[in-house]
Structure 1
């Protein structure tokens, strides 16, 4: 059996133990010769590794684990790289979310100005990562990229490293599919969807179970309850805390107004941004919720283990995040041609959008990459929204490449969550101050 060398770039993420457990649950089919964790923050990575070692000891004790901050050690002869970098960590995420809210604009990690700030920080570190992989890894490498915001990162990579072997993915549609499956009473693997959009900006159009489109049932349920069931903790722990319950619930407003398709949950930030801001706590955002929840729980478990030798295995879990990235990697490794929603260069997949748009659509994942399912033309309302968002994202990448303040201001002004150029300028100027040392200089 072939064995693989796999590197997790961003090894200090609290998601890492869940991803590794998902990998080891598939060890009979996807056997690892060596697992490497790579992160610039050695202290944080070493803490996460305490949990990882326990997972490996329980599930695959012969597996070699390497922790490193050295790119040559991390990527030499690697087959797969799972990229999940968070430049600036949660301290910068807090700025991303709270600065826009100060001006009554959506404050969110990947959407609106906050997502654009995050994207600006991530573009060049992602390019650097690709260069390291190109230099050291096997020529047949695949980078499976979770680094957010995925549309902006994918657009930058398309322009700056067009030949890189990068598969850009996002677990948000898979999370929605998990909810859809639970509502329909079927397994997620039994559900096949039709979907078009950009990352965090799209719509489900069909939901097939055993060849029958059950989208009408889902839309009817969503009008009443959103994408919620009475006890969401039984569906997925990761997406069942208060802010996520609100997000799943808000979809009902969108479906009531626009009943044709089921929107990605993050469309709430663009279509009902006034409602989102009015109901936001400007002093305690999602960043605080994560730092006080998932982050604190995992690192407290590490401290307890160091003190007592007892590991609290409830401190992490395998959710759709870990399962999805492993499923995609296995389809790439073994030419399984499994169907997933992925982010690809359009090239006619959505007939009435530009070929160079980075879109999120269904594709069959082969050892040579994605074979895209063509969507055809999309209706004017959705096309118009997507073109505006595309322009905003492309202008932001222009701003990063050119070091242009004007292009960055255009990008924020173009974004649908921002109401005026005055607002955009105040937010941009605050972001420049907050992101010193992270952003390229703008002139």
Structure 2
């Protein structure tokens, strides 16, 4: 970002999808990089699943979303001018063919909003722990195995001479990754069709597709909306304006304006406050290499909620990343 700020033309954008997007986006904005935008393909991916459920193009369904990255809810899901969220919440087929399958019908009815799939960790922490222990590995372990398997299969290939074969290897392992998404934590398989990739056919593009969509909207001059992680600026009235949030934004005339969500339910607002406090302090801890601030951030996170565990996590993180972050204070 420093190089972009120094050398790029005015108006250059940086799209960050480095996880955890919430903390990274907060840190970048706190450092003064106002041209950065956090992106995630989870919200757009879920909308795409709903579009396939209704037999429509992905762009036909839009959503009003509020919260933080990996901690967000759809307030509305619109199709042909109608809010279809109430029918999605009670549609058995939606719970069979979309990522709503991770959640019990009772919870969806209780919430009255469509949750991001990562909210499973917050609504069912005891299930997550049980399922991970039963599986014997975390998602990180699974991704490591997949990456190592793909690298091993790629090792003897020359991309310049064997491009098509390399692409087949990538497609195979990426398909395994997609099929295993959230499986260790939820005990539920997505049941998605086998993943395929054709370099000559259009697709939604994942993370890159989100960034390219922003560029397309801005360059075409049309008015449109996207879900991005940006400064709050009053989108939710119980957070600071400088807090980064994941919300639906209106993009027009070169500006990205977050929509307002004035009536966030108290239970969701309380969870957002707690996790945003963690992100805010976590970003400052990373910027200043401050161990005590990192411990405080972790201690107040709903999934940690323990001083002793926070100390262990902070020390483990600092130790594992010492080669990249250097020495920390405190």
Find the counterpart in structure 2 of residue 354 from structure 1. Answer: 240
Unaligned runs of 5+ in 2: 172-196, 198-202
Find the counterpart in structure 2 of residue 442 from structure 1. Answer: 329
Find the counterpart in structure 1 of residue 265 from structure 2. Answer: 379
**Distance verdict in 2 for CA 1:199–1:405, change over 3 Å:** same
**Distance verdict in 2 for CA 1:176–1:295, change over 3 Å:** farther
Find the counterpart in structure 2 of residue 220 from structure 1. Answer: 90
In terms of mean alpha carbon deviation, does 384-393 or 275-284 score higher? 275-284
Instruction: Please give the secondary structure, in 2, of the residue aligned with 1:359.
Output: strand
Is 1:309 the counterpart of 2:137? The answer is: no
Structure 2 counterparts to residues 20-419 of structure 1, below 5 A: 130-162=1-33, 164-221=34-91, 224=92, 227-229=95-97, 249-252=101-104, 255-256=107-108, 258-281=110-133, 283-293=136-146, 296-297=149-150, 300-301=153-154, 303-305=156-158, 309=162, 311-312=164-165, 313-314=167-168, 315-316=170-171, 317=197, 318=203, 319-366=205-252, 368-419=254-305
Answer whether contact 2:39 2:228 (CA < 8 A) is retained. Answer: yes
Find the counterpart in structure 2 of residue 100 from structure 1. Answer: none
Answer whether contact 2:274 2:302 (CA < 8 A) is retained. Answer: yes
Unaligned runs of 5+ in 1: 1-129, 233-246
Answer whether contact 1:270 1:417 (CA < 8 A) is retained. Answer: yes
Instruction: Please give the secondary structure, in 2, of the residue aligned with 1:374.
Output: coil
Number of residue pairs aligned between Structure 1 and Structure 2: 295
**Distance verdict in 2 for CA 1:380–1:289, change over 3 Å:** same
Displacement of 1:299 in angstroms is 6.7
Give me the TM-score of the superposition, normalised by structure 1: 0.61
Give me the TM-score of the superposition, normalised by structure 2: 0.80
Superposed CA RMSD: 2.6
Find the counterpart in structure 1 of residue 174 from structure 2. Answer: none
Answer whether contact 2:225 2:251 (CA < 8 A) is retained. Answer: yes
Offset from partner CA, 1:377-428 (integer Å, 9 cap, x none): 3121111110011111111122223332221111111111114212222222
